[in-house]
Structure 1
Protein backbone atom coordinates (compact mmCIF):
# COMPACT_ATOMS: atom_id res chain seq x y z
CA UNK A 1 0.00 0.00 0.00
CA UNK A 2 1.07 3.54 -0.71
CA UNK A 3 0.92 6.16 2.04
CA UNK A 4 -0.94 9.06 0.46
CA UNK A 5 -1.18 11.39 3.42
CA UNK A 6 -0.23 11.48 7.07
CA UNK A 7 -2.33 13.97 8.99
CA UNK A 8 -2.36 15.00 12.61
CA UNK A 9 -4.39 11.94 13.61
CA UNK A 10 -5.07 9.82 10.51
CA UNK A 11 -2.95 8.13 7.89
CA UNK A 12 -4.43 7.51 4.45
CA UNK A 13 -3.20 4.65 2.27
CA UNK A 14 -4.02 3.78 -1.31
CA UNK A 15 -5.14 0.17 -1.80
CA UNK A 16 -6.19 -0.34 -5.40
CA UNK A 17 -9.21 1.80 -6.14
CA UNK A 18 -9.96 2.19 -2.41
CA UNK A 19 -8.29 4.04 0.41
CA UNK A 20 -7.61 2.86 3.95
CA UNK A 21 -8.26 5.45 6.62
CA UNK A 22 -6.21 4.50 9.68
CA UNK A 23 -6.79 6.38 12.92
CA UNK A 24 -3.83 6.58 15.29
CA UNK A 25 -3.71 7.18 19.04
CA UNK A 26 -2.16 10.59 18.45
CA UNK A 27 -3.94 13.63 19.84
CA UNK A 28 -3.68 17.27 18.84
CA UNK A 29 -4.73 20.54 20.41
CA UNK A 30 -4.37 23.99 18.84
CA UNK A 31 -3.17 22.23 15.66
CA UNK A 32 -0.16 20.78 17.50
CA UNK A 33 0.26 17.01 17.77
CA UNK A 34 1.32 16.18 21.31
CA UNK A 35 4.13 13.63 21.82
CA UNK A 36 2.09 11.39 24.15
CA UNK A 37 -0.40 8.83 22.81
CA UNK A 38 -3.88 8.20 24.25
CA UNK A 39 -4.26 4.38 24.38
CA UNK A 40 -7.18 3.02 22.30
CA UNK A 41 -8.14 6.48 21.05
CA UNK A 42 -7.88 5.49 17.38
CA UNK A 43 -10.09 2.45 17.86
CA UNK A 44 -12.65 4.40 19.89
CA UNK A 45 -12.93 7.12 17.24
CA UNK A 46 -13.18 4.55 14.44
CA UNK A 47 -15.86 2.45 16.12
CA UNK A 48 -17.88 5.48 17.19
CA UNK A 49 -17.75 6.94 13.68
CA UNK A 50 -18.94 3.64 12.23
CA UNK A 51 -21.87 3.67 14.67
CA UNK A 52 -22.77 7.22 13.67
CA UNK A 53 -22.45 6.47 9.94
CA UNK A 54 -25.19 3.87 10.44
CA UNK A 55 -27.38 6.30 12.40
CA UNK A 56 -27.04 8.94 9.68
CA UNK A 57 -27.33 6.72 6.61
CA UNK A 58 -30.73 8.15 5.69
CA UNK A 59 -29.43 11.73 6.04
CA UNK A 60 -26.45 11.43 3.71
CA UNK A 61 -24.47 8.52 2.20
CA UNK A 62 -20.94 7.94 3.50
CA UNK A 63 -17.60 6.72 2.23
CA UNK A 64 -17.47 3.41 4.14
CA UNK A 65 -16.85 0.23 2.11
CA UNK A 66 -15.79 -2.11 4.93
CA UNK A 67 -14.58 -2.00 8.51
CA UNK A 68 -13.35 -5.61 8.42
CA UNK A 69 -11.58 -5.90 5.05
CA UNK A 70 -8.45 -4.23 6.40
CA UNK A 71 -4.91 -5.47 7.22
CA UNK A 72 -4.69 -7.28 10.54
CA UNK A 73 -2.30 -4.73 12.01
CA UNK A 74 -4.94 -2.02 11.54
CA UNK A 75 -7.91 -4.03 12.82
CA UNK A 76 -10.37 -1.94 14.78
CA UNK A 77 -8.82 1.38 13.82
CA UNK A 78 -9.11 1.32 10.02
CA UNK A 79 -11.91 1.72 7.50
CA UNK A 80 -11.79 0.79 3.82
CA UNK A 81 -13.32 3.77 2.05
CA UNK A 82 -14.25 5.18 -1.30
CA UNK A 83 -11.94 7.84 -2.63
CA UNK A 84 -13.64 11.20 -2.20
CA UNK A 85 -12.84 14.48 -3.84
CA UNK A 86 -13.00 16.48 -0.64
CA UNK A 87 -14.80 19.80 -0.42
CA UNK A 88 -12.24 22.36 0.73
CA UNK A 89 -14.45 23.81 3.43
CA UNK A 90 -14.62 22.79 7.09
CA UNK A 91 -18.34 22.30 7.68
CA UNK A 92 -19.23 23.25 11.26
CA UNK A 93 -22.56 23.44 13.05
CA UNK A 94 -23.03 25.13 16.41
CA UNK A 95 -25.98 24.82 18.74
CA UNK A 96 -24.40 26.41 21.82
CA UNK A 97 -22.09 29.32 22.55
CA UNK A 98 -18.67 27.77 23.14
CA UNK A 99 -15.06 27.75 22.04
CA UNK A 100 -13.93 30.34 19.53
CA UNK A 101 -17.57 31.29 18.98
CA UNK A 102 -17.55 33.10 22.33
CA UNK A 103 -14.93 35.64 21.23
CA UNK A 104 -16.63 36.13 17.86
CA UNK A 105 -19.97 36.72 19.56
CA UNK A 106 -18.51 39.16 22.10
CA UNK A 107 -16.86 41.12 19.29
CA UNK A 108 -19.55 41.03 16.60
CA UNK A 109 -22.72 39.68 18.25
CA UNK A 110 -22.50 37.17 15.40
CA UNK A 111 -20.56 34.05 14.43
CA UNK A 112 -19.42 33.60 10.82
CA UNK A 113 -21.96 36.20 9.72
CA UNK A 114 -24.85 34.62 11.65
CA UNK A 115 -26.39 37.37 13.83
CA UNK A 116 -27.28 36.33 17.38
CA UNK A 117 -29.42 38.02 20.06
CA UNK A 118 -27.78 40.10 22.80
CA UNK A 119 -27.22 38.80 26.29
CA UNK A 120 -26.03 35.28 25.53
CA UNK A 121 -23.64 33.78 28.07
CA UNK A 122 -21.03 31.05 27.74
CA UNK A 123 -22.58 27.61 27.17
CA UNK A 124 -25.97 29.16 26.31
CA UNK A 125 -28.14 27.32 23.82
CA UNK A 126 -28.52 29.29 20.59
CA UNK A 127 -32.01 30.13 19.30
CA UNK A 128 -31.36 27.62 16.52
CA UNK A 129 -28.27 25.77 15.23
CA UNK A 130 -26.09 27.80 12.87
CA UNK A 131 -23.67 26.93 10.07
CA UNK A 132 -20.23 28.38 10.83
CA UNK A 133 -17.81 27.11 8.17
CA UNK A 134 -14.09 27.73 8.02
CA UNK A 135 -11.26 27.37 5.55
CA UNK A 136 -9.42 24.07 5.38
CA UNK A 137 -5.74 24.85 5.68
CA UNK A 138 -3.11 22.18 4.91
CA UNK A 139 -1.09 20.67 7.77
CA UNK A 140 1.52 23.26 8.71
CA UNK A 141 -0.29 25.93 6.71
CA UNK A 142 -1.64 27.86 9.67
CA UNK A 143 -4.96 27.93 11.46
CA UNK A 144 -8.29 27.57 9.67
CA UNK A 145 -10.06 30.91 9.15
CA UNK A 146 -13.78 31.43 9.79
CA UNK A 147 -15.88 31.92 6.64
CA UNK A 148 -19.25 33.50 6.04
CA UNK A 149 -21.84 31.66 4.01
CA UNK A 150 -21.34 34.18 1.19
CA UNK A 151 -17.64 33.26 1.10
CA UNK A 152 -18.58 29.59 0.78
CA UNK A 153 -20.87 30.53 -2.12
CA UNK A 154 -17.99 32.42 -3.75
CA UNK A 155 -15.61 29.46 -3.42
CA UNK A 156 -17.99 26.53 -4.05
CA UNK A 157 -20.97 27.95 -5.93
CA UNK A 158 -24.46 28.63 -4.58
CA UNK A 159 -25.92 25.15 -5.11
CA UNK A 160 -23.12 23.29 -3.35
CA UNK A 161 -22.88 25.90 -0.58
CA UNK A 162 -26.56 25.48 0.22
CA UNK A 163 -26.21 21.69 0.24
CA UNK A 164 -23.19 21.88 2.57
CA UNK A 165 -25.18 24.02 4.97
CA UNK A 166 -28.26 21.81 4.80
CA UNK A 167 -26.36 18.57 5.35
CA UNK A 168 -24.20 19.97 8.15
CA UNK A 169 -27.19 21.27 10.08
CA UNK A 170 -29.16 18.06 9.53
CA UNK A 171 -26.26 15.89 10.75
CA UNK A 172 -26.03 18.11 13.82
CA UNK A 173 -29.79 18.04 14.40
CA UNK A 174 -30.03 14.25 14.11
CA UNK A 175 -26.93 13.70 16.20
CA UNK A 176 -28.13 16.06 18.91
CA UNK A 177 -31.51 14.35 19.11
CA UNK A 178 -29.89 10.93 19.53
CA UNK A 179 -27.30 12.18 22.02
CA UNK A 180 -29.96 13.91 24.11
CA UNK A 181 -31.61 10.55 24.78
CA UNK A 182 -28.27 9.39 26.23
CA UNK A 183 -27.80 12.42 28.48
CA UNK A 184 -25.25 14.13 26.26
CA UNK A 185 -25.29 17.64 24.80
CA UNK A 186 -23.51 18.17 21.48
CA UNK A 187 -22.48 21.80 21.61
CA UNK A 188 -20.95 21.86 18.13
CA UNK A 189 -19.46 19.56 15.53
CA UNK A 190 -17.32 19.55 12.41
CA UNK A 191 -17.87 17.21 9.48
CA UNK A 192 -15.96 16.44 6.29
CA UNK A 193 -17.78 16.13 2.97
CA UNK A 194 -16.62 15.06 -0.46
CA UNK A 195 -17.83 13.74 -3.81
CA UNK A 196 -17.65 10.26 -5.32
CA UNK A 197 -19.09 9.90 -8.84
CA UNK A 198 -20.86 13.22 -8.42
CA UNK A 199 -22.56 12.22 -5.14
CA UNK A 200 -21.92 14.23 -1.97
CA UNK A 201 -20.86 11.90 0.85
CA UNK A 202 -19.86 12.06 4.48
CA UNK A 203 -16.22 11.16 5.08
CA UNK A 204 -13.42 11.08 7.64
CA UNK A 205 -14.95 10.87 11.14
CA UNK A 206 -18.30 12.01 12.46
CA UNK A 207 -19.59 13.12 15.87
CA UNK A 208 -16.56 11.97 17.86
CA UNK A 209 -14.83 13.61 20.85
CA UNK A 210 -12.17 14.86 18.42
CA UNK A 211 -14.61 16.55 16.05
CA UNK A 212 -17.31 17.67 18.49
CA UNK A 213 -17.88 19.23 21.89
CA UNK A 214 -19.72 16.80 24.13
CA UNK A 215 -21.11 17.88 27.50
CA UNK A 216 -22.82 15.85 30.20
CA UNK A 217 -26.41 17.11 30.06
CA UNK A 218 -27.02 16.83 33.80
CA UNK A 219 -24.07 19.16 34.46
CA UNK A 220 -24.93 21.78 31.84
CA UNK A 221 -26.45 25.19 32.52
CA UNK A 222 -26.15 28.53 30.69
CA UNK A 223 -23.24 30.51 32.09
CA UNK A 224 -21.73 27.44 33.74
CA UNK A 225 -18.82 25.25 32.77
CA UNK A 226 -20.17 21.80 31.88
CA UNK A 227 -18.22 18.59 32.31
CA UNK A 228 -16.40 18.04 29.05
CA UNK A 229 -16.52 14.61 27.44
CA UNK A 230 -14.08 15.51 24.67
CA UNK A 231 -10.58 16.84 24.21
CA UNK A 232 -11.49 20.26 25.63
CA UNK A 233 -10.40 18.66 28.91
CA UNK A 234 -6.89 18.41 27.47
CA UNK A 235 -6.97 21.99 26.20
CA UNK A 236 -7.90 23.19 29.68
CA UNK A 237 -5.03 21.18 31.17
CA UNK A 238 -2.57 22.74 28.73
CA UNK A 239 -3.82 26.25 29.54
CA UNK A 240 -2.29 25.87 32.99
CA UNK A 241 1.20 25.18 31.64
CA UNK A 242 3.41 28.24 32.18
CA UNK A 243 5.97 27.44 29.50
CA UNK A 244 3.97 26.32 26.44
CA UNK A 245 2.87 28.87 23.84
CA UNK A 246 0.67 26.54 21.75
CA UNK A 247 3.35 25.91 19.14
CA UNK A 248 5.29 22.73 18.33
CA UNK A 249 6.74 20.83 20.00
CA UNK A 250 3.87 20.12 22.34
CA UNK A 251 4.26 19.09 25.97
CA UNK A 252 4.29 15.53 27.26
CA UNK A 253 0.98 14.56 28.88
CA UNK A 254 1.18 13.22 32.46
CA UNK A 255 -0.14 9.71 33.05
CA UNK A 256 -3.11 10.89 35.10
CA UNK A 257 -4.18 13.31 32.35
CA UNK A 258 -3.79 10.57 29.72
CA UNK A 259 -6.04 8.30 31.79
CA UNK A 260 -8.64 11.01 32.40
CA UNK A 261 -8.73 11.85 28.68
CA UNK A 262 -9.07 8.20 27.68
CA UNK A 263 -11.84 7.68 30.22
CA UNK A 264 -13.85 10.54 28.71
CA UNK A 265 -13.56 9.06 25.22
CA UNK A 266 -14.70 5.69 26.54
CA UNK A 267 -17.58 7.25 28.46
CA UNK A 268 -18.88 8.98 25.33
CA UNK A 269 -18.61 5.78 23.32
CA UNK A 270 -20.43 3.69 25.92
CA UNK A 271 -23.17 6.24 26.63
CA UNK A 272 -23.92 6.82 22.96
CA UNK A 273 -23.72 3.27 21.62
CA UNK A 274 -24.92 1.41 24.70
CA UNK A 275 -22.00 -1.00 24.26
CA UNK A 276 -19.28 -1.61 26.81
CA UNK A 277 -15.79 -0.73 25.58
CA UNK A 278 -13.75 -3.92 25.61
Structure 2
Protein backbone atom coordinates (compact mmCIF):
# COMPACT_ATOMS: atom_id res chain seq x y z
CA UNK A 1 0.00 0.00 0.00
CA UNK A 2 1.07 3.58 -0.57
CA UNK A 3 2.12 5.89 2.25
CA UNK A 4 -0.63 7.59 4.22
CA UNK A 5 -1.29 11.27 3.58
CA UNK A 6 -0.61 13.91 6.23
CA UNK A 7 -3.39 13.71 8.81
CA UNK A 8 -4.80 10.48 7.34
CA UNK A 9 -4.20 6.75 7.46
CA UNK A 10 -4.61 4.57 4.39
CA UNK A 11 -7.51 2.23 5.18
CA UNK A 12 -8.16 0.53 1.85
CA UNK A 13 -6.60 0.40 -1.60
CA UNK A 14 -8.72 -0.82 -4.50
CA UNK A 15 -7.84 -1.29 -8.13
CA UNK A 16 -8.47 2.38 -8.84
CA UNK A 17 -9.46 4.22 -5.62
CA UNK A 18 -7.83 4.57 -2.24
CA UNK A 19 -9.73 5.29 0.98
CA UNK A 20 -8.04 7.26 3.76
CA UNK A 21 -9.43 7.93 7.24
CA UNK A 22 -8.45 10.63 9.73
CA UNK A 23 -5.36 9.52 11.64
CA UNK A 24 -6.22 7.22 14.53
CA UNK A 25 -9.66 6.29 13.18
CA UNK A 26 -10.72 3.17 11.31
CA UNK A 27 -12.87 2.61 8.25
CA UNK A 28 -15.83 1.32 10.22
CA UNK A 29 -16.20 4.33 12.51
CA UNK A 30 -14.51 7.25 10.73
CA UNK A 31 -16.59 10.43 10.71
CA UNK A 32 -15.49 11.12 7.12
CA UNK A 33 -13.44 9.34 4.48
CA UNK A 34 -10.99 10.79 1.97
CA UNK A 35 -11.71 9.03 -1.34
CA UNK A 36 -8.77 9.43 -3.69
CA UNK A 37 -9.05 8.62 -7.40
CA UNK A 38 -5.70 7.40 -8.67
CA UNK A 39 -4.51 7.43 -12.27
CA UNK A 40 -4.59 3.62 -12.25
CA UNK A 41 -6.84 1.94 -14.79
CA UNK A 42 -8.56 -1.43 -14.66
CA UNK A 43 -10.38 -3.56 -17.21
CA UNK A 44 -11.86 -7.06 -17.10
CA UNK A 45 -11.27 -7.02 -13.31
CA UNK A 46 -7.52 -6.50 -13.74
CA UNK A 47 -5.41 -3.55 -12.64
CA UNK A 48 -3.28 -2.39 -15.55
CA UNK A 49 0.04 -0.67 -16.05
CA UNK A 50 1.04 2.07 -16.66
CA UNK A 51 -1.47 4.58 -15.23
CA UNK A 52 -3.38 7.08 -17.37
CA UNK A 53 -2.01 10.61 -16.70
CA UNK A 54 -4.64 13.00 -15.33
CA UNK A 55 -7.29 10.31 -15.02
CA UNK A 56 -7.89 10.73 -11.29
CA UNK A 57 -8.42 14.47 -11.58
CA UNK A 58 -10.70 14.09 -14.59
CA UNK A 59 -12.92 11.46 -12.95
CA UNK A 60 -13.16 13.42 -9.70
CA UNK A 61 -14.19 16.56 -11.58
CA UNK A 62 -16.76 14.56 -13.51
CA UNK A 63 -18.27 12.98 -10.38
CA UNK A 64 -18.48 16.35 -8.61
CA UNK A 65 -20.10 17.98 -11.64
CA UNK A 66 -22.67 15.21 -12.01
CA UNK A 67 -23.56 15.23 -8.31
CA UNK A 68 -24.22 18.96 -8.45
CA UNK A 69 -26.06 18.73 -11.77
CA UNK A 70 -28.28 15.93 -10.48
CA UNK A 71 -28.78 17.68 -7.14
CA UNK A 72 -27.55 14.57 -5.34
CA UNK A 73 -24.59 15.60 -3.18
CA UNK A 74 -25.55 13.60 -0.10
CA UNK A 75 -22.40 11.48 -0.19
CA UNK A 76 -20.13 14.53 0.12
CA UNK A 77 -18.89 15.59 3.54
CA UNK A 78 -18.66 19.37 3.78
CA UNK A 79 -18.51 22.06 1.12
CA UNK A 80 -16.43 21.13 -1.93
CA UNK A 81 -16.90 24.52 -3.57
CA UNK A 82 -14.10 27.09 -3.88
CA UNK A 83 -12.83 27.86 -0.40
CA UNK A 84 -15.11 25.21 1.12
CA UNK A 85 -14.28 23.48 4.39
CA UNK A 86 -13.96 20.10 2.67
CA UNK A 87 -11.26 21.40 0.33
CA UNK A 88 -9.31 22.71 3.31
CA UNK A 89 -9.20 19.16 4.69
CA UNK A 90 -7.84 17.61 1.48
CA UNK A 91 -4.01 17.33 1.42
CA UNK A 92 -2.21 19.20 -1.35
CA UNK A 93 -0.70 15.96 -2.65
CA UNK A 94 -4.13 14.74 -3.82
CA UNK A 95 -5.87 18.07 -4.44
CA UNK A 96 -8.15 17.85 -7.46
CA UNK A 97 -8.45 14.08 -7.37
CA UNK A 98 -9.93 13.51 -3.92
CA UNK A 99 -13.32 13.97 -2.33
CA UNK A 100 -14.15 14.09 1.35
CA UNK A 101 -17.16 11.83 1.67
CA UNK A 102 -19.53 10.60 4.33
CA UNK A 103 -19.02 7.17 5.83
CA UNK A 104 -21.66 4.87 4.34
CA UNK A 105 -22.51 1.22 4.77
CA UNK A 106 -22.08 0.20 1.14
CA UNK A 107 -24.63 -2.17 -0.37
CA UNK A 108 -23.11 -5.22 -2.15
CA UNK A 109 -24.81 -4.52 -5.49
CA UNK A 110 -23.48 -2.83 -8.60
CA UNK A 111 -26.48 -1.10 -10.14
CA UNK A 112 -25.99 -1.30 -13.89
CA UNK A 113 -28.43 0.40 -16.26
CA UNK A 114 -28.19 -0.25 -19.99
CA UNK A 115 -29.75 1.80 -22.75
CA UNK A 116 -27.87 -0.01 -25.49
CA UNK A 117 -26.49 -3.52 -25.74
CA UNK A 118 -22.74 -3.97 -25.79
CA UNK A 119 -19.84 -5.33 -23.77
CA UNK A 120 -20.43 -8.12 -21.26
CA UNK A 121 -24.18 -7.62 -21.61
CA UNK A 122 -23.96 -8.51 -25.28
CA UNK A 123 -21.96 -11.66 -24.45
CA UNK A 124 -24.59 -12.79 -21.93
CA UNK A 125 -27.43 -11.93 -24.32
CA UNK A 126 -25.88 -14.03 -27.09
CA UNK A 127 -25.61 -16.97 -24.70
CA UNK A 128 -28.99 -16.74 -22.98
CA UNK A 129 -31.18 -14.18 -24.76
CA UNK A 130 -31.26 -12.15 -21.55
CA UNK A 131 -29.11 -9.97 -19.29
CA UNK A 132 -29.37 -10.47 -15.53
CA UNK A 133 -32.62 -12.30 -16.13
CA UNK A 134 -34.15 -9.55 -18.28
CA UNK A 135 -35.29 -11.26 -21.51
CA UNK A 136 -34.62 -9.16 -24.62
CA UNK A 137 -35.88 -9.29 -28.24
CA UNK A 138 -34.10 -11.58 -30.65
CA UNK A 139 -31.60 -10.35 -33.20
CA UNK A 140 -30.00 -7.48 -31.28
CA UNK A 141 -26.54 -6.46 -32.49
CA UNK A 142 -23.66 -4.69 -30.78
CA UNK A 143 -24.61 -1.08 -30.00
CA UNK A 144 -28.33 -1.47 -30.72
CA UNK A 145 -30.76 0.71 -28.81
CA UNK A 146 -32.83 -1.35 -26.38
CA UNK A 147 -36.63 -0.99 -26.44
CA UNK A 148 -36.22 0.76 -23.08
CA UNK A 149 -33.39 1.04 -20.54
CA UNK A 150 -33.00 -2.04 -18.35
CA UNK A 151 -31.70 -2.59 -14.83
CA UNK A 152 -29.10 -5.38 -14.88
CA UNK A 153 -27.50 -5.57 -11.44
CA UNK A 154 -24.35 -7.40 -10.44
CA UNK A 155 -23.17 -8.81 -7.13
CA UNK A 156 -20.17 -6.78 -6.00
CA UNK A 157 -17.59 -9.47 -5.35
CA UNK A 158 -14.84 -9.10 -2.73
CA UNK A 159 -11.50 -7.79 -3.97
CA UNK A 160 -9.76 -10.38 -6.11
CA UNK A 161 -12.98 -12.04 -7.28
CA UNK A 162 -15.10 -11.36 -10.36
CA UNK A 163 -18.39 -9.49 -10.14
CA UNK A 164 -21.37 -11.60 -11.16
CA UNK A 165 -24.50 -10.50 -13.01
CA UNK A 166 -27.56 -11.37 -10.94
CA UNK A 167 -31.35 -11.22 -11.43
CA UNK A 168 -33.43 -8.69 -9.50
CA UNK A 169 -34.69 -11.49 -7.24
CA UNK A 170 -31.14 -11.97 -5.99
CA UNK A 171 -30.90 -8.24 -5.19
CA UNK A 172 -34.02 -8.66 -3.05
CA UNK A 173 -32.31 -11.53 -1.21
CA UNK A 174 -29.18 -9.44 -0.65
CA UNK A 175 -30.71 -6.16 0.56
CA UNK A 176 -34.44 -6.70 1.06
CA UNK A 177 -37.44 -5.91 -1.14
CA UNK A 178 -37.80 -2.23 -0.29
CA UNK A 179 -34.12 -1.44 -0.68
CA UNK A 180 -33.95 -3.42 -3.92
CA UNK A 181 -36.79 -1.41 -5.41
CA UNK A 182 -35.13 1.81 -4.28
CA UNK A 183 -31.87 0.79 -5.95
CA UNK A 184 -33.66 -0.01 -9.20
CA UNK A 185 -35.81 3.11 -9.32
CA UNK A 186 -33.03 5.51 -8.35
CA UNK A 187 -30.61 3.90 -10.80
CA UNK A 188 -33.10 4.19 -13.63
CA UNK A 189 -33.76 7.81 -12.72
CA UNK A 190 -30.07 8.75 -12.64
CA UNK A 191 -29.54 7.04 -15.98
CA UNK A 192 -32.51 8.85 -17.55
CA UNK A 193 -31.27 12.23 -16.36
CA UNK A 194 -27.70 11.46 -17.40
CA UNK A 195 -28.73 10.24 -20.85
CA UNK A 196 -30.83 13.36 -21.48
CA UNK A 197 -28.02 15.71 -20.45
CA UNK A 198 -25.47 13.73 -22.46
CA UNK A 199 -27.74 13.90 -25.53
CA UNK A 200 -27.84 17.69 -25.23
CA UNK A 201 -24.03 17.62 -25.51
CA UNK A 202 -24.00 15.41 -28.62
CA UNK A 203 -23.25 12.26 -26.62
CA UNK A 204 -24.94 8.89 -26.16
CA UNK A 205 -24.87 7.34 -22.69
CA UNK A 206 -24.92 3.64 -23.56
CA UNK A 207 -24.78 2.28 -20.00
CA UNK A 208 -23.59 3.09 -16.52
CA UNK A 209 -22.73 1.47 -13.19
CA UNK A 210 -23.84 3.06 -9.92
CA UNK A 211 -23.29 2.20 -6.27
CA UNK A 212 -25.26 3.07 -3.16
CA UNK A 213 -24.79 2.93 0.60
CA UNK A 214 -26.79 3.56 3.74
CA UNK A 215 -26.04 6.54 5.96
CA UNK A 216 -26.32 6.57 9.75
CA UNK A 217 -30.09 7.09 9.53
CA UNK A 218 -30.53 4.14 7.16
CA UNK A 219 -31.25 6.31 4.12
CA UNK A 220 -29.92 5.01 0.80
CA UNK A 221 -27.37 7.43 -0.70
CA UNK A 222 -25.82 7.53 -4.17
CA UNK A 223 -22.10 6.89 -3.61
CA UNK A 224 -18.69 6.43 -5.19
CA UNK A 225 -18.14 7.70 -8.74
CA UNK A 226 -21.13 8.90 -10.74
CA UNK A 227 -21.51 8.77 -14.55
CA UNK A 228 -17.77 8.91 -15.16
CA UNK A 229 -15.87 7.58 -18.14
CA UNK A 230 -14.72 4.67 -15.95
CA UNK A 231 -18.20 3.66 -14.82
CA UNK A 232 -20.08 4.46 -18.03
CA UNK A 233 -19.91 4.12 -21.79
CA UNK A 234 -20.21 7.39 -23.69
CA UNK A 235 -20.35 7.47 -27.48
CA UNK A 236 -20.31 10.33 -29.96
CA UNK A 237 -23.86 10.74 -31.29
CA UNK A 238 -22.93 11.94 -34.80
CA UNK A 239 -20.47 9.09 -35.29
CA UNK A 240 -23.07 6.59 -34.11
CA UNK A 241 -25.58 7.96 -36.61
CA UNK A 242 -22.94 7.34 -39.28
CA UNK A 243 -22.50 3.75 -38.13
CA UNK A 244 -19.32 4.18 -36.08
CA UNK A 245 -18.72 3.84 -32.36
CA UNK A 246 -16.38 6.55 -31.06
CA UNK A 247 -16.11 6.07 -27.31
CA UNK A 248 -15.05 8.51 -24.58
CA UNK A 249 -14.22 5.91 -21.99
CA UNK A 250 -11.76 3.10 -21.39
CA UNK A 251 -13.12 1.10 -24.32
CA UNK A 252 -9.85 1.92 -26.06
CA UNK A 253 -8.09 -0.07 -23.33
CA UNK A 254 -10.64 -2.90 -23.44
CA UNK A 255 -10.34 -3.20 -27.23
CA UNK A 256 -6.56 -3.36 -27.08
CA UNK A 257 -6.64 -6.05 -24.40
CA UNK A 258 -9.15 -8.05 -26.44
CA UNK A 259 -6.87 -7.82 -29.48
CA UNK A 260 -3.99 -9.13 -27.36
CA UNK A 261 -6.17 -12.02 -26.17
CA UNK A 262 -7.31 -12.85 -29.69
CA UNK A 263 -3.68 -12.89 -30.83
CA UNK A 264 -2.86 -15.38 -28.08
CA UNK A 265 -0.67 -12.96 -26.10
CA UNK A 266 -2.95 -12.91 -23.04
CA UNK A 267 -5.26 -15.56 -21.59
CA UNK A 268 -7.59 -13.03 -19.80
CA UNK A 269 -6.65 -14.61 -16.47
CA UNK A 270 -2.98 -14.02 -15.79
CA UNK A 271 -1.10 -10.75 -15.47
CA UNK A 272 -2.28 -8.51 -18.33
CA UNK A 273 0.20 -7.03 -20.79
CA UNK A 274 1.61 -3.55 -20.28
CA UNK A 275 -0.34 -0.86 -22.11
CA UNK A 276 1.61 0.73 -24.97
CA UNK A 277 2.24 4.48 -24.85
CA UNK A 278 -0.12 5.11 -27.78
CA UNK A 279 -3.06 3.49 -25.95
CA UNK A 280 -2.27 5.45 -22.77
CA UNK A 281 -2.15 8.74 -24.71
CA UNK A 282 -5.36 8.05 -26.64
CA UNK A 283 -7.23 7.11 -23.46
CA UNK A 284 -6.06 10.21 -21.57
CA UNK A 285 -7.10 12.41 -24.47
CA UNK A 286 -10.58 10.87 -24.69
CA UNK A 287 -11.15 11.23 -20.94
CA UNK A 288 -10.19 14.90 -21.12
CA UNK A 289 -12.36 15.48 -24.20
CA UNK A 290 -15.42 13.97 -22.52
CA UNK A 291 -15.03 16.25 -19.50
CA UNK A 292 -14.75 19.24 -21.83
CA UNK A 293 -17.83 18.15 -23.80
CA UNK A 294 -19.88 17.72 -20.65
CA UNK A 295 -18.71 20.60 -18.50
CA UNK A 296 -17.32 23.10 -21.01
TM-score, length of structure 1 as denominator length: 0.93
Higher mean displacement: 109-118 or 93-102: 109-118
Q: Which has the higher contact order (CA 8 A, sep 6+)?
A: 1
Q: Helix, strand or coil for the counterpart of 1:5?
A: strand
1:3 aligns to 2:29 (yes or no): no
Q: Helix, strand or coil for the counterpart of 1:251?
A: coil
Q: Is the 8 A contact 1:32 1:248 kept in 2?
A: no
- Distance in 2, matches of 1:193 and 1:62, equals 11
- Distance in 1, matches of 2:274 and 2:132, equals 34
1:266 aligns to 2:273 (yes or no): no
Q: Unpaired segments of 5 or more residues in structure 2?
A: 1-7, 23-29, 81-86
Q: Helix, strand or coil for the counterpart of 2:211?
A: strand
Question: Which residue of structure 2 aligns with residue 166 of structure 1?
Answer: 185
- Distance in 2, matches of 1:112 and 1:221, equals 28
Question: Which residue of structure 1 aligns with residue 68 of structure 2?
Answer: 54
Question: Which residue of structure 1 aligns with residue 200 of structure 2?
Answer: 181
Question: Which residue of structure 1 aligns with residue 229 of structure 2?
Answer: 209
> What per-residue deviation string (whole Å, max 9, x for no partner) do you get for residues 224-267 of structure 1?
55111110111111222231222342222222111100010001
Question: Which residue of structure 1 aligns with residue 58 of structure 2?
Answer: 44
- Distance in 2, matches of 1:127 and 1:176, equals 15
Cα RMSD, aligned residues only: 1.4
Alignment of 1:190-201 (within 5 A): 190-197=209-216, 198-201=218-221
Q: How many residues align?
A: 270
Q: In structure 2, do the counterparts of structure 1 residues 107 and 244 end up closer, same or farther at CA, with 3 Å as the change threshold?
A: closer
Higher mean displacement: 46-55 or 230-239: 230-239
Question: Which residue of structure 2 aligns with residue 104 of structure 1?
Answer: 124
Question: Which residue of structure 2 aligns with residue 256 of structure 1?
Answer: 278
Question: Which residue of structure 2 aligns with residue 30 of structure 1?
Answer: 44
Q: Helix, strand or coil for the counterpart of 1:220?
A: helix
